[in-house]
Amino acid sequence: MGILAVTGLVVKLVLLVLLYFSVVSWAIIFYKFLQVHRANRESVRFLEFFWKTKRFDAINEQLDRFSHSPLTVLFSEAFSELKKLMEKGIQKEDPDVISTELGGIDNIARALRRATTSEITRLEKYLTFLATTGSTAPFIGLFGTVWGIMTAFKGIGETGTASLAVVAPGIAEALIATAIGLVAAIPAVMGYNHFQNKIRVLIAEMDSFSTEYLNIVQRTFAKK
């Protein structure tokens, strides 16, 4: 703390910027940990419930139990579209099927794609900040270090001596910026890679669920 007290204005500003990046990054890491891991856990539970129940109307009534799973959003959007198509079938005195002439399967597929895109965007929200922190924080810290070393050499020129007692404090002050830059960047990079991996698993689950949902609709409801 004594070294920080004697740092120059530019180095202090650099350290404040790095502190901001670090604090926000940790806040995002904690938030995304809760969001992504809860989404993974509830998606597993929802899939078990989905295959066990099989009746769409019964599943739709229980979606609140899995509110953090992206699969429930996909199901809800697709089921809403299916109900609209069933209502059209009722109007045509054919309530138990949906006609491909009405673009029924395509409409449901589009609803699933829209929901998937929306959920991917939601899950990836704020990850860009982690990537930015991981890539820029070391360079910001390096800038602070270079500036501090320049200041140290300027002091050497003014005093006319290059003894260790004169040089060491300035160099130590300068290296703090690089150290803080790494402290901010390393957790951000690790968090970003971890969450990207978890989100890729969820995306694969959403794609698989969409395919299975469409297959069930085609087998159960669709007609030529």
pLDDT tens column, 68-100? 999 999 999 999 888 887 776 544 444 444 444
* Of residues 199 and 94, more confidently modeled: 199
Q: Which residues pair with 222 in a beta bridge?
A: 98
Host domain of residue 93: 2-223
Count CA atoms closer than 13 A to 218's CA, side-chain side.
Answer: 11
What's the pLDDT score for residue 149? 79
**pLDDT-derived band of residue 224, with 50, 70 and 90 as boundaries?**
very low
**DSSP-H helix ranges across 54-103:** 56-61, 70-91
Q: What percent of the chain has pLDDT over 90?
A: 52
Of 165, 171, 178, which is closest to residue 151 (Cα–Cα)?
171
Number of folded domains in the chain? 1
Rounded-to-integer distance, Cα 41 and Cα 209, Å: 16
- Mean of the pLDDT values across residues 51-66? 88
Q: How confident is the model over 136-189, as pLDDT tens digits?
A: 999 999 888 888 777 777 766 766 666 666 566 667 777 888 899 999 999 999
| Bigger pLDDT: 153 vs 18 | 18
Per-residue pLDDT at 123 exceeds 50: yes
